[in-house]
Chains A and B, each alone.
Chain A
């Protein structure tokens, strides 16, 4: 229902030393009409130009601090509020590639009243020239 908004295309930043980035981050919102406990976020699959990034290279932070996707599964005391931006932190030596690249995010959510998972997909063309400002 909110697929096209779940990646904030202007939020991509490199992480680590400017001359040797260790990864990148971007802002995402939950593609759902209410908030959800983190334990029900089954997956946040990230890829660049259709090249998938390993699940264990991705961490999530809705505010209190980063968690691996596996750790999210038992984070019963944490919740991602409706419409609230969160950070995805991606280990990716060299950072986000320079120039134009497609960034894809697939959120897979375990929604109790639905017989199947809710899949939300967004893909944005990112024009990245390193961290600005």
Chain B
């Protein structure tokens, strides 16, 4: 029996081309289908211009479009504008109302996973659980760098889910938490902005050695008198953690969808930064069932010097997924029956 991991893409991956108007939503879905990434994650606030007023006809049009390409929806990315008003934060009731609005649209689209922004309070989500249960939607709080699976803030959501005894509240890991190596695309852009190669190398070496960010930032900013680009590069270390992929197995019951963040894929279809080999080995080994949903975020690191080709980057990531899933299946004795 093969693993239960499916492949998909978040439309977030194609933000560069969609922003510029060179790819439509349907172009992106057709492309995803062409590489066998048939699970589609949407950001209604990005992909539906009329949000939040979406008619039944519009919902039907979306469903038909996805089906036409042999795809299906996997996840709905919600947002919560607690700072909508300048004079005050949203009240708790207003937050619950906004999340309920998203749960309803998510349900109308036939989607059963909702990505919840990491800053949403666990008690607010607890109040949304009855609606999520009624609509059978899993609310997954995004575990995004620099948080990690064991971070106290994340544990509060897990505790809330356990307290309520619900399977409709949990987490949704973003693979950016497993940044084992400093992304070459980050370094290259900082060098174009004036970082000296020797200082950039010091920062990369510090990350490779897993030195706490604050030490490196002090070294670069104070001792080396780093320039603006060098200090900015050192500060990215605060958001570039390598969490332990083995923890995925313990938390697997709490998530059914993964945002497969990446910044660049090499021509040989390897990720130079994020430890997908380790993460996928753990996911296959523990029998996790869900979707690896591509989330390409490299555009902003290269757009100053080259045209962005999000499709090629996503294609390479899926070649890697197939390779790593097959290798893990072989290792864990989950090969397809001959």
Which A residues have a C-beta under 8 Å from some C-beta of B?
1-2, 4-5, 29, 33-35, 37, 39-40, 42, 73, 76, 79, 81-84, 110-113
Contacts and interface: CB of A to CB of B under 8 A. Distances in A.
A42 B84 CA distance: 11
B86 interface: yes
Contacts of A35: 45-46, 49, 51
B81 A33 contact: no
Central interface residue in A2, A37, A82, A110, by most chain B CB within 10 Å: A82
Given A39-B86, A83-B20, 18 more contacts: A1-B299, A2-B19, A4-B304, A34-B45, A35-B51, A37-B84, A40-B84, A73-B86, A76-B84, A79-B51, A82-B18, A82-B19, A82-B47, A83-B19, A110-B86, A112-B79, A112-B80, A112-B81
B3 interface: no
Interface in B284-326: 299-300, 303-304
Nearest to B50: A81
Contacts of A37: 81, 84
A117 B3 CA distance: 43
A39 B299 CA distance: 28
A112 B304 contact: no
Nearest to A85: B21
Contacts of B15: 1, 33
Contacts of B80: 112-113
Interface string B40-69: 000101110101000000000000000000
Contacts of B19: 2, 5, 29, 33, 82-83
Contacts, number: 64
A34 B84 CA distance: 15
Interface residues of B, number: 27
A4 B303 CA distance: 9
Could you tell me the dominant secondary structure of chain B's interface residues? loop
A33 B12 contact: yes
A113 B46 contact: no
Nearest to B120: A113
A4 B304 CA distance: 8
B119 A113 contact: yes
When A and B form their complex, which 3 residue pairs have the shortest distance between CB atoms, in order from nearest? A34-B45, A34-B46, A81-B49
B83 A110 contact: yes
Interface in B1-43: 12, 15, 18-21, 43
A90 B59 CA distance: 39
A40 B46 contact: no
B227 interface: no
A111 to B, nearest CB: 8
B223 interface: no
B313 to A, nearest CB: 15
A35 B79 CA distance: 11
B83 A40 contact: yes
Contacts of B119: 112-113
Nearest to A76: B84
A119 to B, nearest CB: 14
Contacts of A1: 15, 299-300
Contacts of B334: none
B129 interface: no
A79 B46 CA distance: 12
A2 B49 CA distance: 18
Contacts of A42: 86
B21 A83 contact: yes
Contact of A33 (B46, B49, B51): B46
